[in-house]
Structure 1
Amino acid sequence: MELDQYCPECGEDRTFYRAASTTLHLGEKIKWHCPECSYGFVRIGDNGTAVDSSADA
């Protein structure tokens, strides 16, 4: 699976690749990885209520 997302390390939109996934009680946990650099992030849950580790605090 692929996801187009802004990469803060590269400074532009990149195609991230699904590195791993598992199912939790909150929904599916998916790790995404930028192939151009070492940046990665995690999303948990469905699209409507996802927790995204790439979001600013």
Structure 2
Amino acid sequence: MAMELDHECPNCGEKTFYRAASTTLHLGEKVKWHCPDCDYGFVQIDGIDSSAA
């Protein structure tokens, strides 16, 4: 279970996100990721994320 994720933030350009929360759903594991610099966040469910492209 990773606590950090390398992902570019569309708001500020930060490269590291931190795990804010996680739970298990019938679709797979749901993880909320949080940018520490600008408060941008996104959800990832079973490897598919909701972040801006």
Match of 2:28 in 1: 27
Greater gyration radius: 1
Unmatched 5+ stretches in structure 2 = none
Matched residue SS, 1:7: coil
CA distance in 2, matches of 1:39, 1:13: 10
The residue type equivalent to 1:15 in the other structure is T
Q: Which amino acid aligns with 2:11?
A: E
Identity of aligned residues (%): 73
Q: Structure 2 length normalisation: TM-score?
A: 0.86
Structure 1 pair 35/13, CA: closer, same or farther in 2 (3 Å)? Answer: closer
Residue aligning to 1:37: 38
RMSD: 1.2
Hey, which of these two has a bigger chunk of strand by percent?
1
- 1:12-53 Cα distance to aligned partner (Å, 9 max, x none): 2421000000000111000000000010000001xxxx2210
